[in-house]
Structures are given as structure tokens and as C-alpha cells.
Amino acid sequence: MPTFPPSDQISLAWAGGLLQVAGATDVGSVRRINQDAYGHFHDAERGESLFVVADGLGGHRGGEVASRMAIEALCQRIGEGDESPPIRLARAISIANQEILARSRKDRTLDGMGTTIVCLLLVANGRSYVAHVGDSRLYRVRLGQIDGITEDHSLVAALVREGVLSLADARSDPRRNQVLRALGMRDDVEIEVAPLLPMPGDLYLLCSDGLHGLIEDPEILRIIASQSEPEPGVAALLSAANHAGGNDNITCLIASLSENTKLPMFRFRMTRFVTFIRSLLKKARS
Ligand code: CA
């Protein structure tokens, strides 16, 4: 069964190690309703874990309904079929898009609702994947460094890429909430799916713009690094965003891999690396 909020920290045996998960969402300090949602789903048989954050758009209850529908559809559909993980992931997102569209066309009070989505699919026996639509993000913390893995599908991000806007100006630009892609907007939604190569000890953070719009990446890293467990980490991030104004709903979901995790791709790359070093040493000796 899909896991929905509120969720306490959970620990799962995963790829010979431990996968620790904690998520939380908060309405923030200004808004009256929370249109964000998150969920995670674990398929022990396939050795797959799916993590999703969605940020709903649209007035009335629209955004709230859209983000919840997206989480539900994703967690239910990811396990359907025998295709490869990226195909199942893209199809599940596409089905969520269709369901949200159909619902908003049927119910006029939900007209125009939509949602961003960011998904991390960790696969114990193969390549992992990230998929997103909109400006909810995936970050990776590895060896004391933080990296943004997704590129926002937003107007300001596009202007920054084109060199029209500086990164600093983008943070305060009045158009910073304008997303260029979202589920529930059109039939042929463009989904960005990319492979990912997790390493033992990696920590992944999925979040809505209620966090990354207020807290800069180095500060996100500092907060995460100051906590030994994902659950207080998530709580500290929510609290920091609220202290910084909390002008939007805030959602954070952390998935953390223990150091003793055994990932096949990592082993493969290490083997190749060791072979490469050996061949260099051999050459140097001859
Ligand atoms: Ca938001």
C-alpha cells in the first residue's frame, strides 16, 4: 500500500544496507491551505523504492486535489507491467496527467488545476531514475557536497539558462512562481526522465519550491549535515523555511542510503576503475 503523510521515519533493508526515509509537509506561515503532497512506495519483490513530491497549482481546492491525485496515481501505477523502470515511471506520470485532466474537465470547481512532480525511483538491482515536471527539485548530498539533480521547468530558470537573468535576480523575480510545465495542463505533457547512479552513503532530498525558493543550496546542505537522521533533518528544513518567511507550502522528503549499501552499478564502476588503475601500474612498471 502507498504510504501517505504524516509519516514518521522508516528504515528498510535495501541493497544489503539500510534505506532511511522521512518526509513532512507544512502549510507555511502565510497560506491557509497546503497544496503540496508527498508519498513513497516500496516494492520489496522488485527491489524498487519510489519517492514523490508534488506541488499543486490552481485556486479553490484544485491544487490540493491535483497533487494528491498525482501521488496516489504514481504510487499505484509504478508497479504495473513488466517494462523497464524508466518506461513504467514515465507511463505512471502520464497516467497521473490524464487522470488529473479528466477530473478537472468533469468537475468545474477543479477547472485549471495542476501539479508539479518530482520522482526518485531507487532500483537496488540496476540503474535508478529521476523524473520531473515543473519546479519541484531533487538534490543529492554526497561526500559533503550538495548538487541539484533536476533543472526547473520554470520561466526564471529558462531565462537564467538563456543568460537573460542572473541567478541572484531570479530568486527575487516576481515571475519566479511561473512553471512552464505541470501535470493537468495538456494531454501531451513533457516528462523529463534521467538515469541516476546512486552510491553508498548518498542522501537524496525531494522538495517543493517552498523550501528551495527561500533557502539557498549551501544552507540546505548545512541543515542536513547538522542532523544525524533524516527525520530531524526534514523538521529542521521546514522550520528554516518558516523562519525565512514561509510564504509558500513547504515539503521535504529525504531518502538516505547507508554506507554499507551494495549497488551493482557502483560495484561495476569500481571494478572498471580498479582494472584501469592496475593497467596503468602495469604500464608504468614495464
Ligand atoms: Ca509552491
Tell me the pLDDT tens digit for each residue of 10-52: 999 998 999 999 999 999 999 999 999 999 999 999 999 999 9
Distance from the CA of 207 to the center of ligand 1, in angstroms? 10
What pLDDT, on the 0 to 100 scale, is given for residue 229?
93
Q: For residue 270, name the pLDDT band (cuts at 50, 70, 90).
A: low
Distance from the CA of 110 to the center of ligand 1, in angstroms? 18
What pLDDT, on the 0 to 100 scale, is given for residue 60?
72
| pLDDT digit string, tens, across residues 77-122 | 999 999 999 999 999 999 999 999 999 999 999 999 999 999 999 9
pTM confidence score:
0.90
Share of the chain above pLDDT 90, in %: 81
Distance from the CA of 244 to the center of ligand 1, in angstroms? 15
Distance from the CA of 221 to the center of ligand 1, in angstroms? 20
What pLDDT, on the 0 to 100 scale, is given for residue 5?
52
What pLDDT, on the 0 to 100 scale, is given for residue 267?
56
What pLDDT, on the 0 to 100 scale, is given for residue 69?
97
Share of the chain above pLDDT 70, in %: 93
**Angstrom distances, CA of residue 38 to CA of 17, 265, 277:** 24, 28, 43
Distance from the CA of 44 to the center of ligand 1, in angstroms? 32
Q: Cβ–Cβ contacts within 10 Å for residue 174, how many?
A: 7
